[in-house]
Amino acid sequence: MIKSIVTTLLTFGMSLLAFAQEPIIIKMGNVIGDGSPGRMPLHTGKIQKLIAKNISKYTDGQVIWEILDGKRDDIPVFLMSAMTAKGDVIQATNVPSLFMPRVPEMLIQSIPFLFESDEHSRRFMNSEPDLWMSSKVEETYNVKVLGSIHHSNAVSINSITPIIEPEDFGNKILNDFSESWLPLWQNIKPKKITYIGYAEAAEGALVGKDATTEVNIGMLQNNHIQRLYERYKHLTLVPNMYNIYYMILINNDVWNGLSEFQQDGINRAINDGQKASIAMHLDTMMHAIGLNQVEGVQFHFQTSAERERWKTEFYPKMLKSVIEKSSDPQKTAEMIDQIENLVKDLEWQ
């Protein structure tokens, strides 16, 4: 009886102590900026806010996930992973995993048409290949990966003249998605390839009076802020030409210093964010399609037959390049096979 009373008092006392403690504030670097007035909101920012809200909820307010303003000069996007590992300015970050040059296996996500559908994208999160790539990031950057969040698979081909077949890229001035895609153009030769990034494009580099670009490969959600409709009157929507995930990273010491209850609450919030990311991306994509149509762009949705021809042309070249660049080619090839097999049960019998 006495033992039971003592145990109850100790439990009650520990609860009061936990209640009295100041909340733990974890500052997260944010690659999503506020953008210019009129910019179509990206869903990634909404997911971040959802995660932050649920972390507070699931930890009973013991952990505050503070999202810092996007694109701060003192938190460069390419240094966010290292800054998270250090932990003195930011203790966590939401970073595009394609921006990790020290982990070449991340280029798996840029293999054209590796993914088949939004259901495929959903199944990738927390799959063995996803966890394998997360472990690569953890080893390289000395951080804890909390999970991958789906960001985008809506590739937008904006052009002066229609781009329907792979050969239509030939002899055009192309602003490409990334230098990692250079292997795609071994057979089909653009006249010139440039890599004008998001920030420059948002300032009008692709539509100004001196612009020479004839074809731009980018994210559908960025078309509006980049005003691509002013110059490019044709748009081909190519789903799953790449699949971009953002990784949520946290400082190892901060993570290890949390209680099991707090860690569980954070994991639950991340899982909620993952589930929401597919639906939020679809909502954003439909919003972007509507904006482009209102702005007078001739919209073309890639057909299944066209997709097959594009995949035949582009997939093998990027597959070969990614495997060759990997630190473990055999394992990388195995993981790619596993990604492909994630939706085998959905194939027509």
**Domain CATH number, residue 195:** 3.40.190.170
**Is 2 within the bounds of a domain?**
no
pLDDT for 25: 98
User: How many helices and strands, by DSSP H and E, does the chain display?
Assistant: 10, 9
Query: Which of helix, strand or coil describes residue 217?
Result: strand
**Is 226 within the bounds of a domain?**
yes
pLDDT for 292: 85
pLDDT for 7: 57
Domain count, the chain: 1
pLDDT for 342: 95
**Is 4 within the bounds of a domain?**
no
pLDDT for 101: 78
CA distances to 14, 68, 106, 298 from 148, rounded to whole Å, are 35, 19, 12, 34
Identity at 107, one-letter amino acid code: L
pTM over 0.75? The answer is yes
Q: Which helix (H) or strand (E) holds 211?
A: none
pLDDT for 13: 53
> Which domain range does residue 54 map to?
22-346
pLDDT for 39: 47
**Is 15 within the bounds of a domain?**
no
Q: What six digits make up the tokens of 328?
A: 């473990």
**Is 256 within the bounds of a domain?**
yes
Cβ pair 155, 181 in contact under 8 A: no
pLDDT for 50: 94
Cα 262 to Cα 162: distance, rounded to the nearest angstrom:
53
pLDDT for 36: 47
pLDDT for 33: 58
Which stretches in the chain have pLDDT values below 50?
6, 34-39, 349
**Is 72 within the bounds of a domain?**
yes
**Is 326 within the bounds of a domain?**
yes
**Is 10 within the bounds of a domain?**
no
pLDDT for 349: 45
Which residue, 236, 234, 342, 349, is CA-closest to 295? 234
